[in-house]
Amino acid sequence: KKAFMFRVGDLREGVVVYHHSDSDTTHDHIVFRISDGHHNIRHKFPINILPKDDSPPFLINNVAVEVQEGGAVRLEQLMLLASDLDSSDDYILYQVTSSPRAGQLLRKTSTQETGDPVESFLQRGLIQGQIYYQHSGEEQFEDSFDFTLSDSHQPPYLSQTYTVVVHVFPVKNQLPVEVSGSIRSLTVRETEVVHVTQAHLHFTDREHPDTDLSYVITQPCINPLHPGLMDTGRLFYTDITNSMKKDHMVPVLKSFTQAPPSTGLYGYSGWSPDVYAHCRPTTTFHPTAPDRLFWSTAAAPHSPLTQL
């Protein structure tokens, strides 16, 4: 440290100057020894340094956002927070430069509000819990948005571009859909037992493996022209019978899965050829949502029905 002496006259003439080192310090002091020629006293002279706004804000917290499909999550300080060495953190401006593709940013003053879309917001609003990410509900499970930070200086100092990553947890809310090419129709001769394969019946679900799909028969095979007639057709597993012939003792299926082997499921027509020739029995099932499978019974060759 350098020491020098000056007089009161030097102060009056304004030749004594304090020069700051241009560091980020905001406090300094000078220790004076004041003397009248006979007595001495030491005095500490404090100096408060006003910061020079010459640097942009910077991000200190950037944690991936997690939200359920179709849900909303409030952006909190633990997820997103910035700081500025030269000015108040409350007035740091987040400017969105690339919007979310699977959702949007909203400002809400209460959780009951629908909120207003925003392209920019102050950190004060974020700290007050007003900024939300709202997922669109579409089947997109990764999202992100880019932004820059700026301070209140004129002109403002801009930061680099930052990216917030959004992880979306899927909600199992999609209905199975029929695979293109499935005919969902079966023609059975009155004396035959035929395979029901994926060529006849095949659904898929984006949120589940195909093997997890289950079919529940909600209405047994009926004849639309004669609703009171029973046993117009049956579904059964072949692993519980050693015969491919009609058998009253074979249990009728009430449900089945799409898990392999898909050729282990069979369907066959009813027991009264005098009635069921040219009829169109139906059975209703649903993997998740109700649908309808049609069975068409045709007369066998050389049967009495061929005389009709």
pTM of the predicted protein model: 0.54
If phi > 0 it is left, if psi is from -120 to 50 it is alpha, else beta; for residue 271 that is alpha
The counts of H helices and E strands in the chain are: 3, 23
Q: Which two tokens stand for residue 294?
A: 């049609």
DSSP string, 65-81: EEEETT-EEE--TTTEE
| Structure confidence by residue, pLDDT tens digits, 105-151 | 999 998 889 999 999 999 999 999 999 999 999 989 999 999 999 99
Helix, strand or coil for residue 90?
Answer: helix
Q: Which two tokens stand for residue 84?
A: 């500025």
Provide the pLDDT for residue 241: 58
DSSP string, 110-176: STTS--EE-SEEEHHHHHTT-EEEEE--SS--EEEEEEEEE-SSSSPPB---EEEEEEEE--S-PPP
CA distance 234 to 245: 12
If phi > 0 it is left, if psi is from -120 to 50 it is alpha, else beta; for residue 306 that is alpha
Nearest residue to 145 (alpha-carbon basis) of 179, 100, 210, 90? 100
Please, are residues 266 and 233 in contact by the beta-carbon 8 Å criterion? Answer: no
CA distance 51 to 64: 33
CA distance 87 to 49: 13
Q: From the CB of residue 111, how many other CB atoms can be counted at a distance below 10 Å?
A: 10
Which residues of the chain are modeled with pLDDT < 50? 261-263, 271-283, 289-290, 292, 294-308
Q: Are strands 185-189 and 103-107 parallel, antiparallel or unpaired?
A: unpaired
Q: Identify whether 261 is preceded by a cis peptide bond (ω within 30 of 0).
A: yes
CA distance 118 to 198: 49
The distance in angstroms from the start CA to the end CA of the chain is 122
User: Residue 74: exposed, middle, or buried by beta-carbon count in 10 A (0-12, 13-18, 19+)?
Assistant: middle
Based on its alpha-carbon atoms, the radius of gyration of the chain, rounded to whole angstroms, reads 40
Provide the pLDDT for residue 287: 64
